[in-house]
Amino acid sequence: MASAPRSSFGVPETASVHTPPLLDGRIRDLLAGKKVVMTGVTGFIGEQMLWKFLTECPEVRTGVLVRRKGSVTAAERVASLLKKKIFKPLVETAGSVEALMAARVDVIEGDLPNVPDLPRDIDVLVHCAGDVSFDPPIDQAFMTNVIGTKALLTKFRESCSDAAGNLERIPHYVHISTAYTAGRRRGAIPEAAHAHDVDYEAETRAAMAMKEHVETLSRSSEQLTELRKQAERLHRRAGYLTTSEDTERRRQDWVDRELVAAGTERARSLGWTDVYTFAKAMGERVVTDLGGDMQVSIVRPAIVESSLRDPYPGWIEGFKMADPLILAYGRGQLPEFPASPDAVIDIIPCDYVVNAIVAVCATQPEIGQPEFYHCSSGARNPLTFRGIYEHIRSYFSQHPYTEGQGSVPLAVWNFPGAEPVERLLWFADKGIKVGNKLLSFAPRGKQVRAAAMSLDKTAKQLDFLNKYLSLYGEYLQSEVHFVDDCTLALHHSLHPEDREAFGFDSGDVDWTHYLEEVHVPAITDPVRRLEAARKRRSQRSATYKALKPSEPGTVLAAFDLDGTVMATNVVETYLWLKLPELSIAERAAEVAKVIWQLPNYIGAERKDRGIFLRQIYRRYAGADLAELENFVEEHLSAFILDRTSPEAIRRIREHREAGHTTVLMTGVIRPLTRPFEGLFDHIVAADLATDATGVCTGFLSGPPMVGESRSAWLRHYANLHKFDLSKSFAYADSHVDLPMLRAVGNPVAVNPDVGLMRAARSSSWSVIEWPSDSPQPRWKLPHVREER
Amino acid sequence: MSRPGFVLEVDEKTPPLLTLSGADLRLERFGVGTRVAYPADSVASEDPVGLIDAALESPVGAEPLPSTLDRSTKLTIVVRDDKQPEPRMRFDVRRSILERVLEHAARAGVDDVQIVIATGLNRRWSRPEISKILGDRVATSFIPDGLISSHDVTAEDLVTIGDVDGVPVRLNKRVAESDLVVSIGVASDHTSGCGLALGLTDTETINRLEGLYADRATTDRITRIVYDAVPTFAVTAVLGQPLLGTSLSFLNKREWEWRLPDQFAFATARQLVSALTKRGSQKLFGNPLADYAISDMIGGDAALVRQQAREAWMAANSVELPGSADVLAVSVWGSSFDNGNPVGSPINAAHDALVEQAGSHAGTPLVREGGVLIARHPLSRNFSNRTQSAAADLFAKVLPETLDPEVIRERFEGAASLDPWYLALYREHYANHPLKVFHTWYRIREATNRLGDVIWVGGDRRSAAVLGHRAATTFADALEIASNTVGSHPDITHLHGPGQLLGVVR
């Protein structure tokens, strides 16, 4: 009778299976008296590893290689690490953090690749430091993973060698890599060195050279011109400095992006998914090359997520790979995701990884025979993408992310594959571009702002989706499974009494329990709390706050006029001044002229407000300044006051009552600011130049006060009169006024245009409405014969 | 003589009647038994010159004006403006009187003539306004030489003319130094305030006349001091009811007498108000002008003229009502009290409803103690930023904190009346004096206090709450709310706008 065909790989020939060095006692005993030095203890796995050694292996002396961060020394960083909740019992037993450090933790201050001399008594070195980002710039990836590893190994060797460079004793080097060093390989990945013939030295040199190259490229005139144009499109109106700041920021971003792209492309050209796994693979090769005469173990975890049991269920530091996606799903921001539903997502709880590493530390591998261990779940307890989706959906159906207002229905994913989703993304991206273009021409107003806000929200979601698709797309389609026979063998060799504390058999993870009761709550609960706190914070007004009386002469309150205090613009004020003295026909002609010029004006306004203002002031040529002032006095002042916003006036008066010095900063001509003289201590306005007979020349006597001149003026004025700008206030409505708002501590965007609203929201400034509910209609002209 | 006012008792045959609310006009069917009080009919004016001459030449309690003028007389003509008839006069009768007086002065060869507008706490007049109201002829001959001015209650050169309880009464300098004052004004309601005292004295004195603790005795003493200070010849025109212009002509007629043009005009106005934007309807209906017939013209001794003019107005406009109602319903028409603002500001709307309309009675209130006033007005918060700045601030900042006049007087009145910005607006930008809104509020509060409830139909709920009142969506809802206070079958009196009547309760 023929046997049924096998659906699995079947039972292997015992002889062909590699058996790793096993444990022959309790781990604490095997490691007793040894000194274990770790890198990366400030990271996710490293922190728990330190905790594990300190808790479970009382006779182990630990050392940590930590870098200084700014003015915080390594020792201080370790001390603050040990103040965390999970170390509390240990600290209590030791008496204090300092006592614990003195007794058990040897701090070595140093950085990768600038590794200091290491102590000469290290038995086991666990290299756990590394970039966790999937898309670091290529130079950075090689710097940490290849050059850093090399430097560490070199110093390690020195610490175990005599003066001649011969090893005095054989140490154990444990390298933490990633299972995904397998790259774009498919199918079963064995626990062994990957076969490839990439020269890591050459790659490293190229990566470092790339940095130089891209930096140089970014400074080329073509590139800088392109970036400047991009910056100008957004910030031209705000002024040169704002634009140049933005250009430089864009240049740095461009360099980063290019380096990331260079890394990704290089990795893909050699068969890796991204530069992270590529550099990690190169790092492994460094280890096997340089550790030829040492005991070497390489641990390759897959996707490490929150702990299942230790130090407590759900222990996690920061956001890991899948977590932003889980949250986004709960928030209803992921309508669909182009993953293969049957792709195996190889998740492994953090404590399993840590336990495996500690167990590996206790083994005695053969010299020159690097041991590889996969910490993964995919081979024996596979969790498919669809499985994760269902668990997460089930969690969020029972515990909706937001309740009441703002709650959203959970998306149902049909897994249509990448193509339709990408098409959708492409169209959405185009839609957003068109929307933004339209918005840039839209008149300002509440609805426009609301439209811009919803557009921004959509764009943010798209960005998010795009980013994660490009980052994780490959992983979510991957069809690999990591064989973890060695890891399993090691697990089985655990002393029965260690099984409880050190077990790491991924086959025993109950995914329903892990995902729905441990992991997803562990990442969503803190975010919920955070968001609730943020919501409370944002309900308190950020920069528009109740005024407290202050010492007179210390606080400034600067107000923009057009659009902020008064609903009008310079074209309109020009017409107010001009039209009333004309006959009906002349009026029509004048309005027609202005309308004819309007496209020019709008164009100028979009480019540079200064140019625009100059064009308008040109029209005043030939007017008698004294008569103009007289006209304002007689006919316009009442009209102007009627147009101001009552809230604005009230706020200005409150500032005055609080002892603040009020300043009006405006581009309109000075005569028009006459009615406000009682409200402001200082008025900065445009002064029309006149000839000898007092007739306006159409030019200004100085440059118009717009954009950066306003912030410069404020700074200088504050300096001269000892005002504290950080306590001062500014109110403005337009993107042009950004520098003025940035100059003070309490900037408020009043009826902002889209540009300013975006800037205000990103800087969390208050955005308020000051409606001018004047009983006068907007287009009403001042009558020379003013009615009552 | 026009048809006098009367009370219509609504029965099944009564057509829908006109109600006004802000800028809105509508026809509503009233409940059977509701009493609707109509003011006297409005009629077109006639040339007032004959009446003016009669008043000047046969005055009461004084010599005829022409005989008191000679070359050396230092003559000041005071145009009283403490109260204006609302809606505004299309042709201001004060201008005719003024021109006539100036003719007499010219005939007598009087050299020193000046005109002072007795605006009191009201807005001072701008030059365009002077030309508009008093005519180009007066404006061009007086303005350039500075011979015409609005009284400034905060001026420093006011002259002390006496004191009451040790507090000085200070009068406009020019007026105090004149040999003869001719005081010109109109009588358009039953109030007894003296236009000279209210219009030409200082803030302190006006506050004693109209403020929270005003009392009759002090008022009389101050008025007497003012009359005694300068020889005054008063001329007062007693006005009839407003006759509105073509597009609003239907307002002048009783609904059952509407002809096709009236119905058409109403339909048009109604559709336009609802179809047009606020701006559009403002353009059409925001600045109504009305023609006022002069029912009488009285000249002579100021005190006598004041009393007789008041009596004449009351006699011509009184309407007998059978009793104080449980519920008094009024239409508040924005255009009639806030010029340039077709809807009207909430404080002035409340003043119009509670003080002007409900307070227009001959002694017995139109609504019983503890009764309910139902007014129609949207109460939207639109204050003129220039002329009503103090009112806007009172509404936005003070009233939400306290409604109590005593507390407000204690804590806010003083500061507001000295506030440099308000005073700058008053002196330079023709705004109301900040004290005015406080006085307005005290009157509103006094009127509210004796009522069980004040309910605004179609009013903004938050504004009504700020005023300490309530808001209802429809008149029926308002009655439902009122039923807690006055029961489910209240006695309802409705005052039919836009004119004003004097309710005489039997």
Tens digit of each residue's pLDDT (9 = 90 or more) over A458-467: 888 888 888 8
> How does pLDDT run across B403-419, given as a tens digit for each residue?
999 999 999 999 999 99
Q: Is B333 in contact with B380 (CB distance < 8 Å)?
A: no
Q: Is A371 in contact with A363 (CB distance < 8 Å)?
A: yes
3-state class (DSSP) for residue B73: coil
Average pLDDT over residues A66-92: 88
Average pLDDT over residues B142-159: 92
8 Å CB contact of B338 and A775: yes
Nearest to B202 by CA among B243, B228, B163: B163
Residue B312 lies in a domain: no
CATH of the domain at A731: 3.40.50.1000
Residue B11: what pLDDT? 92
What is d(CA A526, CA B297) in angstroms, rounded to the nearest whole number?
83
Residue B297 lies in a domain: no
> How does pLDDT run across A157-199, given as a tens digit for each residue?
888 888 887 888 888 999 999 888 888 888 888 888 888 888 9
> How does pLDDT run across A443-453, given as a tens digit for each residue?
777 888 888 88
How far off is chain B from A622, nearest CA to CA, in Å? Answer: 26
8 Å CB contact of A641 and B129: no
Residue B299 lies in a domain: no
N residues, chain A: 788
> How does pLDDT run across A658-667, given as a tens digit for each residue?
899 999 988 8
8 Å CB contact of A679 and B279: no
Residue A439 lies in a domain: no
How far off is chain A from B73, nearest CA to CA, in Å? Answer: 33
> How does pLDDT run across A289-341, given as a tens digit for each residue?
888 888 899 999 988 888 988 888 888 887 777 788 888 888 887 777 777 88
Average pLDDT over residues B370-388: 88
8 Å CB contact of B385 and A772: yes
The residue range of the domain holding A688 is 556-570+621-768
What is d(CA B199, CA B149) in angstroms, rounded to the nearest whole number?
13
8 Å CB contact of B429 and A675: yes
Examine the pLDDT at A13 and tell me if it is beyond 70. Answer: no
8 Å CB contact of B425 and A779: no
The answer on A192 and A46 residing in a single domain is yes
3-state class (DSSP) for residue A44: helix
The answer on A185 and A58 residing in a single domain is yes
Average pLDDT over residues B246-261: 86
The answer on B104 and B26 residing in a single domain is no
Gap between the terminal Cα atoms of chain A? 112
What is d(CA B170, CA B163) in angstroms, rounded to the nearest whole number?
8
**Six token digits for residue B307:** 């009393």
Nearest to A297 by CA among A436, A126, A479: A126
The residue range of the domain holding B430 is 6-33+322-505
Q: pLDDT: is B73 or B88 the higher one?
A: B73
Give me chain A's average pLDDT, please.
84
Residue A494 lies in a domain: yes
Q: SS3 for A760-774, per residue? A: HHHCCCEEECCCCCC
Task: State which amino acid sits at residue A244.
Answer: S
* A20: confidence class by pLDDT, cuts 50, 70, 90: confident
CATH of the domain at B55: 3.40.50.11440
Residue A223 lies in a domain: no
Residue B440: what pLDDT? 94
The residue assigned the tokens 């028009």 is A672
Examine the pLDDT at B252 and tell me if it is beyond 80. Answer: yes
Q: Is B302 in contact with B61 (CB distance < 8 Å)?
A: no
Average pLDDT over residues A464-471: 79
Cis peptide bond N-terminal to A370, omega within 30: no
Residue A14: what pLDDT? 56
Domain boundary among B222, B239, B256: B239
Residue A110 makes CB contacts below 8 A (sequence gap 6+) with A65, A66, A67, A74, A116
Residue A1: what pLDDT? 42
How far off is chain B from A676, nearest CA to CA, in Å? Answer: 10
The answer on A495 and A561 residing in a single domain is no
What is d(CA B13, CA B498) in angstroms, rounded to the nearest whole number?
23
C-alpha count within 13 angstroms, C-beta hemisphere, residue B473: 0
The answer on A134 and A274 residing in a single domain is yes
How far off is chain A from B146, nearest CA to CA, in Å? Answer: 15
Residue A441: what pLDDT? 77
CATH of the domain at A185: 3.40.50.720
Residue A327: what pLDDT? 84
User: Which residue from A minimizes the CA distance to B380?
Assistant: A773
The answer on B18 and B91 residing in a single domain is no
What is d(CA B502, CA B39) in angstroms, rounded to the nearest whole number?
8
- Dmax (CA) for chain A in angstroms is 121
Residue A312 lies in a domain: no
The answer on B107 and B26 residing in a single domain is no
Q: Is A546 in contact with A658 (CB distance < 8 Å)?
A: no
8 Å CB contact of B382 and A788: no
Residue B433 lies in a domain: yes
Average pLDDT over residues B229-242: 92
Instruction: Please enumerate residues of B whose Cβ is less than 8 A from a Cβ of A.
Output: 88, 123, 126-129, 131-133, 278-279, 282-283, 286-287, 338-343, 381-386, 389, 392-393, 396-397, 420-421, 424-425, 428-430
Residue B1: what pLDDT? 57
The answer on A709 and A565 residing in a single domain is yes
Residue B134: what pLDDT? 92
Q: Which residues pair with B19 in a beta bridge?
A: B26
8 Å CB contact of A678 and B421: yes
Nearest to B183 by CA among B202, B204, B200: B200
What is d(CA A334, CA A460) in angstroms, rounded to the nearest whole number?
12
- Residue in B127, B386, B421 nearest the CB of A642: B386
User: Which residue from B minimizes the CA distance to A640?
Assistant: B386
Q: Is A374 in contact with A300 (CB distance < 8 Å)?
A: yes
Percent of chain A with pLDDT over 70: 94
User: Which residue from A minimizes the CA distance to B381?
Assistant: A773
Q: Is A688 in contact with A574 (CB distance < 8 Å)?
A: no
> How does pLDDT run across B139-148, given as a tens digit for each residue?
999 988 889 9
The answer on A636 and A499 residing in a single domain is no
The answer on B181 and B100 residing in a single domain is yes
Nearest to B195 by CA among B310, B296, B90: B310
8 Å CB contact of B385 and A644: yes
> How does pLDDT run across A382-435, given as a tens digit for each residue?
888 888 889 988 998 888 887 767 677 888 888 777 777 778 888 888 888 888
Q: For helices B49-57 and B93-108, give the axis angle rounded to 10 degrees.
A: 50
What is d(CA A212, CA A217) in angstroms, rounded to the nearest whole number?
9
Considering its fold, how many domains does chain B have in total?
2
3-state class (DSSP) for residue B268: helix
Average pLDDT over residues B105-114: 93
8 Å CB contact of A787 and B338: no
Choose, out of A634, A641, A673, the residue to mutate when testing the contact with B (most B CBs < 10 Å): A641
The answer on B28 and B84 residing in a single domain is no
Average pLDDT over residues A698-715: 83
Residue A784: what pLDDT? 47
Average pLDDT over residues A590-612: 78
Examine the pLDDT at B184 and tell me if it is beyond 90. Answer: yes
* A561: confidence class by pLDDT, cuts 50, 70, 90: confident
Residue B298 lies in a domain: no
How far off is chain A from B383, nearest CA to CA, in Å? Answer: 7
User: Which residue from B minimizes the CA distance to A637?
Assistant: B429
Q: Is A581 in contact with A686 (CB distance < 8 Å)?
A: no
* DSSP codes, A163-217: TTS-BSS--EEEEE--GGGGTT--EEE-SSPPP----HHHHHHHHHHHHHHHHHH
CATH of the domain at B499: 3.90.226.30
Residue A783: what pLDDT? 55
- Residue in B287, B342, B420 nearest the CB of A678: B420
How far off is chain A from B91, nearest CA to CA, in Å? Answer: 14
> How does pLDDT run across A529-556, given as a tens digit for each residue?
887 777 777 666 577 777 888 888 889 8
Domain boundary among B217, B239, B261: B239
> How does pLDDT run across A111-121, given as a tens digit for each residue?
878 888 888 88
Cis peptide bond N-terminal to B498, omega within 30: yes
How far off is chain A from B133, nearest CA to CA, in Å? Answer: 9
The residue assigned the tokens 């001042």 is A782
What is d(CA B492, CA A361) in angstroms, rounded to the nearest whole number?
96
The answer on B146 and B89 residing in a single domain is yes
Examine the pLDDT at B74 and tell me if it is beyond 80. Answer: yes
Q: Which residues pair with B36 in a beta bridge?
A: B8, B494
User: Which residue from A minimizes the CA distance to B337?
Assistant: A788
8 Å CB contact of A775 and B382: yes
Residue A731 lies in a domain: yes
What is d(CA B456, CA B350) in angstroms, rounded to the nearest whole number?
9
β-strand pairing of A35-39 with B159-164? unpaired
Examine the pLDDT at A8 and tell me if it is beyond 60. Answer: no
Q: What is the DSSP letter of A371?
A: E
User: Which residue from B minimizes the CA distance to A644?
Assistant: B385
8 Å CB contact of A650 and B393: yes
- Residue in B282, B385, B421 nearest the CB of A653: B421
The answer on A51 and A192 residing in a single domain is yes
How far off is chain B from A546, nearest CA to CA, in Å? Answer: 13
8 Å CB contact of A786 and B382: no
The answer on B149 and B21 residing in a single domain is no
Instruction: Please enumerate residues of A whose Cβ is less than 8 A from a Cβ of B.
Output: 634-635, 637-638, 641-646, 649-650, 653, 675, 678-679, 772-779, 783-788
The answer on B19 and B62 residing in a single domain is no
Domain boundary among B219, B239, B259: B239
The answer on A560 and A492 residing in a single domain is no
8 Å CB contact of A679 and B421: yes
How far off is chain B from A594, nearest CA to CA, in Å? Answer: 24
Choose, out of B289, B343, B386, the residue to mutate when testing the contact with A (most A CBs < 10 Å): B386
Burial A506-534 (b: 16+ CB within 10 A, else e): beebebeebbbebbbbbbbeebeeeeeee
Cis peptide bond N-terminal to B87, omega within 30: yes
Considering its fold, how many domains does chain A have in total?
2
8 Å CB contact of B397 and A650: yes
Q: Is B334 in contact with B22 (CB distance < 8 Å)?
A: yes
Examine the pLDDT at B202 and tell me if it is beyond 90. Answer: yes
Q: For helices A221-235 and A240-269, give the axis angle rounded to 10 degrees.
A: 120
> What is the phi-psi region of residue B350: left when phi exceeds 0, alpha when psi lies from -120 to 50, beta otherwise?
alpha
Residue A718 lies in a domain: yes
- Residue in A644, A653, A777 nearest the CB of B283: A777
The answer on A487 and A565 residing in a single domain is no
8 Å CB contact of A775 and B424: no
How far off is chain B from A137, nearest CA to CA, in Å? Answer: 57
The answer on B201 and B157 residing in a single domain is yes
Chain A residue numbers with beta carbons less than 8 Å from the beta carbon of B421 are: 649, 653, 678-679
Residue A280 makes CB contacts below 8 A (sequence gap 6+) with A130, A145, A177, A178, A180, A181
The answer on B86 and B192 residing in a single domain is yes
The answer on A703 and A562 residing in a single domain is yes
**Six token digits for residue A658:** 């609080």
The answer on B479 and B360 residing in a single domain is yes
The answer on B13 and B86 residing in a single domain is no
The answer on A139 and A277 residing in a single domain is yes
The answer on A289 and A164 residing in a single domain is yes
